[in-house]
Structure 1
Amino acid sequence: MAATLKDIAKAVGVSMATVSRVLNYDQSLSVGDETRQRIFTVADNLQYSKNKRRANVPVAKQKLAIVQWYSESKEQDDLYYMSIRMGIERQGQAHQFEVTRIFQNDTGKLDADVDAIIAVGKFSPQQVENMATLTDKLVFVDDDQFEAGFDSVLTDFKLATEQVVAYFWQQGIQDIGMIHGVEMTTDQAVEVPDQRFISFKAAMTKRHAFEPSHVFQGDYTSQSGFKMMQQAIKTLGSDLPRAFFIANDPMAAGALKALQAANIKVPEQVKLFSFNDTSLATFVYPELSSVRVATELMGATAVDLIVNRLKTGRTVPQRVELGAQLMARDSTK
């Protein structure tokens, strides 16, 4: 027997109305990311499909594959990429795609007859080439492959970072540190630099205020943020910057914990401004100021680019860069 909304609601412990609105990607619904993900997970496990009752008229759907560079378990720890994927799935559903998910960019699991691919994350030239052999309807999200000839959907890191630096500058704070990350593509072929750090260095250098000793590099996890802030406190002592720009919310949460453990008050002594603005930013105390990235719109835009290629036969690549919004909260007030 096919799973129902009632089955999912009972398993998750929410109302049927909540399940229905989540599965229909109702963005006006106020529900936590964890609950939202549990609903999708249970729906997947129960093999729920709201289209099963409409199976009387067979429809040949085009196949859209989402290739994630994260594993499924790691994605659940990084709501940034989860939100992008949800945006893709929502828009893909609206355009009647048959959507499949490939985690940890295991392209060996891709169907040879896939019509289009949206690749989310960072990819090496060889990984890009492997996907391009399957389809020319290929869009990258959060990875600039425009010069390689592929559609790319990105966030304007440069402007957003400039706005953060200007925000502190307006508060009279010119000693600003940064905690950022570095990663490798999953085939270990390419090191991926943090574009936020590149933009931060440029913004501070322009103001003749960049100080290399105030920059600490980790790996984007909360544990790394904690360790990097501990290192900053130990090595800089009384010269600890009055503000830090931190590359993502998990690292910022870890940094906040390290400051609190050292009895350094936030924001009175040190202010923190994070990036991505996932729900984690408001789960900690004090709540984190963070740059809000239009993650779901990034995913939806990637689908729109696929649709445009399919409908028009466009072969010229497009590069779409979305803006971001500064959300000032208690960690900088």
Structure 2
Amino acid sequence: MTTIEEIATQVGVSAAAAARVLSYDPSLSVGDELRRRIFEAAAAPPRRMGATASESGRGARARRIGLLGIGSAPGAAADWHREVRSGVERACARRGIECVPLSDPVSALAISPWSPDRLDGLISIGSLKPDELARLPALGKPTVFVGSSPDDTRYDSVVVDYSEAMERLIDHWTGLGFRRFVYIGSCGPENETGRADRLAALRTGLDRRGLGPLQARCASASEPEAEGRRLMAQALRESRAPTAFVLESGRLAAGAADAAREAGRQVSGDAALVVLDGGGLEASLSEPPFATVRTPAALLGESAVTQLADRLRTQRLFAQKTVLNAALFA
């Protein structure tokens, strides 16, 4: 097993300096060439006493990355997670990178950094819990977050900007005479991927036009169609004014559309339905089709792989953030 001391001796630095470089310590200033040599020494298989360079280079393996956030998405975010994961896996396949699903960072800690099964980096789809995030530095692996950016100084990230899409959403429906906007979806702590950003952009746009505050109806995670029907019926009883309903998922929207028809309201007429993050099959099969705000989920996954591959190749010190725009389809 290669140790920190052996890496330091091979490169000609102190063990402490080698450890700080390998853990991506942003406070340490070191040249690109020295950084590259340290990482190459760490990645190389342990050399036998007297082994030649050609012998020690045999058996080179493909890159392996751990994928966090698998199966952890609640409710409406599950489809988004699946699309991001498919983008990650396609990009990995094109690059010859092995993608290893992990339940949490503890799973990565269980893999020896010197074994043939070691991980070269991590991609996290969505947010991690605070205790999980606290474990990441101990791994010493470059990490890319998709849909969140917990530390811009340490971790790469690929995120979505919803501001332009929400501006277009508001302009589109105010242009058709709508002055009332109601959100139906998850409430409570806004820690699901992208939800806080979406709602903040929508609230900001409405407030700037004097149309705020945004009215919100909180849906439980269970039985989304029934929740959409119940909350829509409640909102329609409160006002007959033309209302644009912004819904978190296609299943909520399907129930809401049923409630609107039962109340004698015209869907896409005086009760407009806008579904966030594409809306899935329900949005595409509805009649008339729901308007949607979509994010390039698969492209987010592909971009994360590109960023991680770049950081592994260049050993760059500074983190990068890639921002992709959501789009309104109405």
Q: Is the 8 A contact 1:276 1:293 kept in 2?
A: yes
**Superposed CA RMSD:** 2.8
Once the two structures are TM-superposed, the CA of residue 284 in structure 1 deviates from its matched residue by 2.3
Deviation at 1:231, TM superposition (A): 2.8
Kept in 2: contact 1:181–1:194 (CA 8 A): no
Contact 2:153 2:319 in 1 (8 A): no
Q: Determine the structure 2 residue equivalent to 1:17.
A: none
Counterpart CA distance in 2 for 1:65 and 1:184 is 27
Counterpart in 2 of 1:255? Answer: 256
Indicate yes or no: 2:292 matched with 1:290. Answer: yes
Identity over aligned residues, as a percent? 22
What is the CA–CA distance in structure 2 between the aligned matches of 1:279 and 1:146, rounded to whole Å?
35
Residue of structure 1 equivalent to 2:92: 92
Residue 273 (structure 2) aligns with: 272
Alignment match, 1:154: 159
CA contact (8 A) 2:158 2:321 kept: yes
Distance in 2 between residues matched to 1:76 and 1:208, nearest whole Å: 30
1:324 matched to 2:326: yes
Once the two structures are superposed, the pairs formed by residues 39-58 of structure 1 within 5 Å of their partners are: none
Cα distance in structure 2, aligned partners of 1:77 and 1:215: 18
TM-score (norm 2): 0.71
The TM-score with structure 1 as length reference comes to: 0.70
Q: CA deviation at 1:169?
A: 1.8
Aligned partner of 1:122 among 127, 139, 160: 127
Deviations 1:214-269 (A, max 9, x none): 322235644443332233234x1435x42112233333233223323433220222
Once the two structures are superposed, what CA deviation does each residue of 1:182-240 show, in whole Å capped at 9, x if it has no partner?
A: 3669xxxx78863211111110000011145x322235644443332233234x1435x
Q: Distance in 1 between matches of 2:76 and 2:179?
A: 36
Q: What residue in structure 2 maps to residue 242 of structure 1?
A: 243
Partner of 2:201: 199
Aligned length: 262
Q: How does 1:51-200 map to 2 (within 5 A)?
A: 60-68=61-69, 70-71=71-72, 78-102=78-102, 105-110=103-108, 111-112=111-112, 113-147=118-152, 149-182=154-187, 194-200=196-202
CA distance 1:173–1:155, shift in 2 (3 Å): same
For 1:226, give the aligned amino acid: R
The letter of the residue matching 2:122 is I
Deviations 1:64-96 (A, max 9, x none): 111116348x68983211111000000011111
Change (3 A) 1:254 1:116: farther
1:296 shift after superposition: 0.6
For structure 1, the 5+ residue unaligned runs are 1-56, 329-333
The aligned residue for residue 309 of structure 2 is 307
Q: 1:318 to 1:247 in 2, by over 3 A?
A: same
| Structure of larger gyration radius | 2
SS in 2 for 1:308: helix
Question: Offset at 1:175?
Answer: 1.9
Q: Distance in 2 between matches of 1:170 and 1:106?
A: 46
Which consecutive unaligned segments of at least 5 residues does structure 2 have? Answer: 1-57, 113-117
